[in-house]
A and B are shown apart, each in its own frame.
Chain A
Amino acid sequence: MKELRMILKKEFIHIIRDKITLALVLAMPIALVLLFGFTISTDIRNAKISVLDQAKDSQSKLLVDKITASGYFQVVAYPENEVEIDNDFKNKGIKLAIIIPPHFEDKLSKEHTANLQVINDVSDLNVASILNNYVRAVVQGYTEEYNQDSQAGFDITTKMLYNPESSSVYMFVPGIITLIMVLVTALMSSITLAREKETGTMRMLLITPVKKIHIIIGKVIPYMAISFIGTIAILIISVTVFKMPINGSLLMLLILCIIFMLTSASFGLLISSISQTQVDAMMITMMGLFLPTVLLSGFLFPLNSMPMVFQVLANVFPAKWFILAIKDVMIKGSGIFDIWMYLLILLVMAVVFIIFSLTRLDKRN
Chain B
Amino acid sequence: MYSIEANQLTKQFGEFTAVDHICFQVREGEIFGFLGANGAGKTTAIKMMSGLLLPTSGTATIAGYDILTQSKLIKKSIGYMSQKFSLYGDLTVFENMQLFGTIYGIPRRELKDRIMASLRELDMDKQANTLVDSIPLGWKQKLAFATAILHRPKIVFLDEPTSGVDPIVRREFWKLIYQAASKGVTILVTTHYMDEAEYCNRISIMAEGQIKLIGTPEELKQQMGVDTINDVFVKFVKR
- Name A's B-contacting residues (CB within 8 A): 2-3, 6-7, 9-10, 13-14, 17-18, 199-201, 203-210, 364-365
Give chain A nearest CB distance to B129 CB in angstroms: 13
Which chain A residues lie closer than 8 Å to B86 at the CB level? Answer: 199-201, 203-204
In-complex Cβ contact of A209 among B54, B87, B91, B104 (8 A): B104
A209 B108 Cβ-Cβ under 8 A: no
Known: A203-B52, A204-B86. 17 other contacts (CB 8 A): A6-B98, A7-B103, A9-B99, A10-B99, A17-B131, A200-B85, A203-B82, A204-B82, A207-B52, A207-B75, A207-B80, A208-B100, A208-B103, A208-B104, A209-B72, A209-B105, A364-B53
Pick the 6 closest A-B CB pairs, nearest first.
A200-B86, A200-B84, A209-B75, A6-B102, A204-B86, A207-B80
Give chain A nearest CB distance to B122 CB in angstroms: 19
Distance in angstroms between the alpha carbons of A364 and B72 in the assembled complex: 13
Give chain B nearest CB distance to A336 CB in angstroms: 39
B52 A10 Cβ-Cβ under 8 A: no
Distance in angstroms between the alpha carbons of A209 and B74 in the assembled complex: 9
B90 A2 Cβ-Cβ under 8 A: no
Chain A: CB-nearest residue to B101: A6
Distance in angstroms between the alpha carbons of A208 and B76 in the assembled complex: 7
In-complex Cβ contact of B76 among A7, A10, A13, A209 (8 A): A209
B88: interface (CB < 8 Å): yes
Which chain A residues lie closer than 8 Å to B138 at the CB level? Answer: none
A207 B51 Cβ-Cβ under 8 A: yes
Q: A199-B86, A201-B87 are in contact. Are A207 and B102 (CB under 8 A)?
A: no
Which chain B residues lie closer than 8 Å to A3 at the CB level? Answer: 102-103, 105
A365 B54 Cβ-Cβ under 8 A: yes
Which chain A residues lie closer than 8 Å to B103 at the CB level? Answer: 3, 6-7, 205, 208-210
Chain B: CB-nearest residue to A211: B103
B90 A18 Cβ-Cβ under 8 A: yes
Q: A6-B98, A10-B95, A364-B53 are in contact. Are A204 and B75 (CB under 8 A)?
A: no
Which chain A residues lie closer than 8 Å to B99 at the CB level? Answer: 6-7, 9-10
A13 B54 Cβ-Cβ under 8 A: no
Which chain A residues lie closer than 8 Å to B190 at the CB level? Answer: none
A2 B104 Cβ-Cβ under 8 A: no
A13 B91 Cβ-Cβ under 8 A: yes
Distance in angstroms between the alpha carbons of A365 and B56 in the assembled complex: 8
Distance in angstroms between the alpha carbons of A13 and B88 in the assembled complex: 11
B210: interface (CB < 8 Å): no
Give chain B nearest CB distance to A101 CB in angstroms: 75
Give chain B nearest CB distance to A12 CB in angstroms: 11
In-complex Cβ contact of A10 among B54, B80, B84, B91 (8 A): B91
Distance in angstroms between the alpha carbons of A14 and B99 in the assembled complex: 13
Distance in angstroms between the alpha carbons of A296 and B186 in the assembled complex: 58
Distance in angstroms between the alpha carbons of A201 and B86 in the assembled complex: 5
Q: A6-B103, A209-B72, A364-B53 are in contact. Are A204 and B90 (CB under 8 A)?
A: no
In-complex Cβ contact of B88 among A201, A206, A209, A210 (8 A): A201
Give chain A nearest CB distance to B16 CB in angstroms: 15
Chain B: CB-nearest residue to A199: B86
A204 B95 Cβ-Cβ under 8 A: no
Give chain B interface residues in 92-121, CB to chain A under 8 Å. 95, 98-100, 102-105, 108
Residue in A3, A9, A208 with the greatest tally of chain B CB atoms within 10 Å: A208
